[in-house]
Amino acid sequence: MPLGRLLLRTSAVNKMISRNSFVASKPDPSKPNMLRVGLAFGSTAFLWALLFKQHSTDVHEYKTRNGLQ
């Protein structure tokens, strides 16, 4: 059996097996997933707090090194 025909046959079998594995549905915008929303906003707030803390640490170190404090 030629290699091309074998590959075509295996890809057809894979499509038949995996076609029904996942069901695609559009998310309903009137019912947001509050867990995901909370995680998104919480992680964003955490990263901003980390950024501000790192910035203030960097400014303090800069002032200490250059004798400005």
Tens-of-pLDDT digits for all 69 residues of the chain? 566 666 666 655 555 555 556 677 887 889 999 999 999 999 999 999 999 999 999 999 999 999 997
**Cα(34)–Cα(55) distance, integer angstroms:** 31
pLDDT of residue 61: 97
What pTM, to 2 d.p., does this model score? 0.57
pLDDT of residue 14: 56
CB atoms within 10 A of CB 10: 10
pLDDT of residue 69: 77
